Amino acid sequence: MFFALLFVIWAWAVSVHSPEGFADVQAIMDGFFGKFVAIGTASALTYHILGGLRHVVMDLGHWEELESGNTSAKAVIALWVVLTVVLGVALW
């Protein structure tokens, strides 16, 4: 996520600087690299949010046993894969 944010911050700075900069960033985002970075960033953010929600539930005293903890981890990974595919289709 850190390296993706460097690209996002750069793209934002260039795009708000001038109409030509916006057109340049738009051209990059329409290409393979831009879409790859967008999907990768969305995927990392999705996994981070799902993992955070899982930990909040664990802080509330649920899913702390070995079996339920493993099950919740597998559920987070499965949901992350599904959401990444959905986001990938939507962003492509």
Residues flagged as binding site for heme: 48
Q: Which residue ranges are tagged as binding site? A: 48
- 63: Cβ–Cβ under 8 A, 6 or more apart, which residues? 54, 57, 69, 71, 72
